[in-house]
Structure formats: structure tokens, C-alpha cells
Structure 1
């Protein structure tokens, strides 16, 4: 089952899509749950719960967004459970702990990250921890204040990595599951004006890749899971050398085999493809695949590694591409479904 999060235009919310495993053919696209601008989605362990950020700035009369919880039926139907404050404005990303006891949320507008407990009845409680980032960076139009853009836990759930586009930092927090707290641990600095947006861990758990939105680059790092430490390997552009137009990056993902890394370009409207050096973790450019639409804000790789689904935000469509198992290249699977303003594609 596939769910698409959207920016709503007065109606709609989370859409449900079917996919044939053998061919990648898509079907459906109907609204599964109505809620305002569910721009990022995640499922809990066992797939019985789904959570969505609501990327708004006025929840319950406060300068805050919200997080919605849904119970997920065996047929993929979503039943609303409850909605709570994200304790910051315009939340844009969230992740669920491995045990399912907490949801971690990044608030882009206010630059805060929050930990929200999942109660025994499956509902969300009030935040057990809220951390406000501070600072700015060199791009006055986009980095005038903190903008927390993503929060991801490592495999052991001991450390959380938070990309803050506004201050050019990936902040590493130790995660205290017993108290639902984030404890400052370390900071990784990007180049001024880079704008860290999202991270993707390699399947081996010892490499992590950071996609930088504003300068269209990917930073490769060695990751020490015991120490919660990142060590820079190299940084590489996501754009062709001869591209002269305006473009920003969005999503990043590592193939389940660990052999390739993909990053989306909005403006160039492509997925950049890189081969992973198995000895060093460094990236080598393989090529670019046009996404056949405008503004590929998000994409996800099928768990089997054969397909990638791309949400073209400004073309109102989700498309399927086949992944070549020999070289990681992409080819259109000639299947699409119309979804208004798709900005997250979740496969579960």
C-alpha cells in the first residue's frame, strides 16, 4: 500500500494508491483521510498506525502546526485517532521510534524539534521535549532564522540527526527513550549557504548521506553508531556540470542494496544517480533521470529495490520508474496516478 501526503487546497489530505508488485502499475488515488497539508507521513512498527505532520502555522489558535494520528486497517483504511500540537510552526518531517513509543517532529517555520509520546491507546500525548534552535546563515532569503527540516533516528535509536537548513547544521542528539528526551550531543557544519535538508542512512548503518537543498549537493559521511559521530568523506553536486538554471534539492534515498544513492532536483526536475564506493562510501555520478514532471519534492524506493515512485508536486502526479539492477539507472514504467500536489510518497 502507498500513501501520498499533499499540500491541501481547501480539501483532501492523505491519498491511497495501489501498486502491482510485478509490474509497478498504479491504481486508485482516492482520499484515505482528510487533514490539512499532511506533507510528511510515517508508519509505526507493525504498520498499524500512521502519523502525519500538518504543515500549518495556526493550530488551535497558536503559532504552531500539528501532528495527526491514524489507526490503519488491514485493507489500508485510515481511522482518525487524535491531533496534537507539533510545538512549532509549519512542521515538515517526522519519524517514529523503533519501539513505537514516540514520534519525533521537525518544525520548519519555527526551527524547533519536538518529541511526542504515543500513549497506550494509540493516541498522541503532549510533547515530552521541545528544543528550539537558534542562529542564521548567509542566505538572507532562506536562512534568516533556524528551519529544522528533518529528524531521523539511527538504526539503534540511540541518536537523532536533525538537519537545520536555516543554520547550515546537522545537529546530533542523544535520544533518551525512557524519558522521551533529546540531549544535545554533537554538531556537523555544512558549507555556508548549503542548507542541509534530509539525511539517508546506508543499510550498513556506518554511512550517512546529507542532501543540501540550497547549493544542490550531497555530503557523504562515515557514521560511528557507538559514538554518534559523523566524519566527512566528500561532497558532490547533484546537478550536471553544464546546468545553468535555478534548482534546489529535496529528497535523498539509498537503494536497499547499498549500491546507489538517489537525490531529487527541483528545477532541473530529475533524480541524480550515484554509485557508492564500497570501500570508502564516496559517491560517483552515474547520471540523471528526468522525472517527467515538475518539482519532484519526494520519492521513495520500493522495498524490493525494483521500482522508485516519484511525486511531482507541480504536475499533480505520482509516477513509477524501474531501477536497473546492474547499474542503478532509471526507466519510466509508464504508470502514473493523478494526485493533487503530492509532496510525500510512503510505501508500507
Structure 2
């Protein structure tokens, strides 16, 4: 039996219909999804992550300043543990360090990273460190949209958006797992107004793929893990060359074998697929697929890598695709759930 945790937006401000953090059982034989819990504590439980032992789940609350912790029970259901206020607006991404000692959170309107001490019982403790990404003027910020590890879990990659006052950039931040502190080691400045959003890391820890929300392009960079530096090598569009309308690129994810890269496009409502040259890291666009819904904010593979799931926020659906040799085929399965924005499997 597999379990899926589905985060959602819940507020009128977000034009959302979500009811809370949902828990689904997934049948091993039929692959049918059955809702077994809907837990609501605070608005917008919008992104989740697991601790390294799969004993606890942590959630941000979008547009607010709150982080929640939950214990995972034997049947996969969640028991609320505690919440803390990090006093930094709109946490959007979170991840646990390699020693299971700290939870790292990126906040968008706060423009910052926070490391939170994890207690032995899974609850959230005190904030150990905070790093704020500066903007162009005094007292301005750059908007942090993600904090994802390199494969050694010594560095964090943090895409930031300008939003008129900051910098469109990819930041490399070294993390000290002994005391929870951050040290900036490099910044790549993307094209102005491109607004970097999410990044995917190849298993070789050298190839990085950065999706740019407003630039509607994917950037390939190389990472030097010895010195904590990055260099950009390629840009490819996320939208078809014959499409002349607007777009907002969203998510970036590598296939389990790292041979293919997939990006999602809101407004165009599509998925773009690239093949990765395993020697050079360069991308080649090989096709597009409809997301069969509206606003594909989040995409993820199952653990085996043969199924891709797309959370279509504004059509209240999760779409299941079969994935083989770079091809996506709709499986026929649609999971109806309100305003989904994150899926976490266990």
C-alpha cells in the first residue's frame, strides 16, 4: 500500500476550493486512490516534505507565516504535532537536511531561508539561522521560490525572482548541518524579467535545469560541487515555437533515470519534454503534451518512475500519465481533489 499526501490552497484570496491536507491510500494492484483523511488546521497547507525516516511530515502554509509538523501514523494518516510562526511571509518550499536535524524553509515575500531545529519527537523547535536575499535597493529583497539540495546535501539551490525590486537569479548556499547556518557561495544572474522558479538536479550532481516562470525557458547550468559555483550553458523555450500567446512556466522534474526532463506550462496548459545528453548535459526538446486541465502548478513521478502525476490547481484534478522512453500517455485515471498544489508519496 502506498500513501499520497496532497496539499491544497484553501482561501478565497487564491480563488481556491481546497478543504485541507488530504491523505490517500493507493491500492497496490488497481492503483485506485481512496481518500482516508482530510486534515485542516490552518489555511493553505500548500507544500509538504517528509523527514529522512518517513516518520514525520512538514507543511508550509502559503500566504501566511506558519509551518506545521505532523506524525505519520501506521495507516498513513496524520496526527497534528505543532505549528510555529517564522514571521516571514508566504513560505513556499521546505526540505530536511541530511542529518535530520533541521528543516529548511524558503519564503517568497520574505525573500529568505530559515533553518528550524527539529526536536527528537518530530516537533518544530527554534529558528537557528535566517538568510535574506537582497534586492536592488536598500531594504528590498529578491523573492525565494525554492530551496532544493544538491546530491551531497551540502548545498542548497535557491531560485529567486525579481518582481521589480530584486534579482532574477539562482543562488548557491552552503549549509552547515551541525549548527544550521547558511553561507552564500555563488549567484547566477538570469535574464532580466525571466523570474527563475524551480530547479532539477541530475544524479551526477553536475547538471542543473532551471525553469523560468516569466521567461518561459529552461536554463541548463553546470555545478562545481568542490567550490559551490555554477555556470550557465544553454537556454531552451518551454513553449512551442508556433505558440504566440502568454505562458507561465511552473515546475521542472527529471525522470528517475535522468534521461528526460519535463517542465509544466500554465496558461498554455501543457507539459514540455526534453531529452538530456548524458555526456554534455545539453537539452533537446522532443515534444509537448496537454496537461488535460488548468494550471499545472506541480508535477511528480511515482517512486518507480513509470507514472507522472500532474496537479492541475484550477481544474481540481490530478492527472495520471504513463511514462516510457520519453513519452507521456494519459492512463485514463483522474483523481478529483480541490485546488491541488503538491503531491508527496510514501
- TM-score normalised according to structure 1 size: 0.91
Go from structure 1 to structure 2 and tell me whether the alpha carbon gap of 1:268 and 1:226 turns closer, same or farther (over 3 Å shift). Answer: same
Kept after mapping to 2: 8 A contact 1:135/1:145: yes
Shift of 1:317: 0.9
- Count the aligned residue pairs: 333
The equivalent residue for 1:292 is 292
The equivalent residue for 1:336 is 334
Range moving further from structure 2, 159-168 or 226-235: 226-235
Kept after mapping to 1: 8 A contact 2:151/2:203: no
Go from structure 1 to structure 2 and tell me whether the alpha carbon gap of 1:151 and 1:295 turns closer, same or farther (over 3 Å shift). Answer: same
Q: Distance in 1 between matches of 2:196 and 2:308?
A: 23
Within the alignment, does 1:346 sit opposite 2:344 as a pair?
A: yes
The equivalent residue for 2:10 is 8
Q: Distance in 1 between matches of 2:282 and 2:183?
A: 30
Per-residue CA deviations over 1:293-332 (Å, capped at 9, x if unaligned) read: 00000010111010011100000111100002x3x11111
Go from structure 1 to structure 2 and tell me whether the alpha carbon gap of 1:22 and 1:288 turns closer, same or farther (over 3 Å shift). Answer: farther
Per-residue CA deviations over 1:6-50 (Å, capped at 9, x if unaligned) read: 001387221112334566443327414543201111001121110
Per-residue CA deviations over 1:177-232 (Å, capped at 9, x if unaligned) read: 11111012111111111111111111222211111111111111122222222222
Name the SS of the counterpart of 2:145 in structure 1: strand
Go from structure 1 to structure 2 and tell me whether the alpha carbon gap of 1:337 and 1:30 turns closer, same or farther (over 3 Å shift). Answer: farther
Q: Structure 1 unaligned segments of length 5 or more: list them.
A: 58-64, 138-143
- TM-score normalised according to structure 2 size: 0.92
Go from structure 1 to structure 2 and tell me whether the alpha carbon gap of 1:25 and 1:291 turns closer, same or farther (over 3 Å shift). Answer: farther
Q: Distance in 1 between matches of 2:46 and 2:195?
A: 19
Q: Distance in 2 between matches of 1:341 and 1:14?
A: 11
2:63 corresponds to which of 39, 56, 71? 56
The equivalent residue for 1:202 is 202
Per-residue CA deviations over 1:106-143 (Å, capped at 9, x if unaligned) read: 11112111111101221111211111222159xxxxxx
Go from structure 1 to structure 2 and tell me whether the alpha carbon gap of 1:336 and 1:161 turns closer, same or farther (over 3 Å shift). Answer: same
Range moving further from structure 2, 28-37 or 266-275: 28-37
Pairwise CA RMSD: 1.8
Kept after mapping to 1: 8 A contact 2:37/2:77: no
Name the SS of the counterpart of 1:47 in structure 2: coil
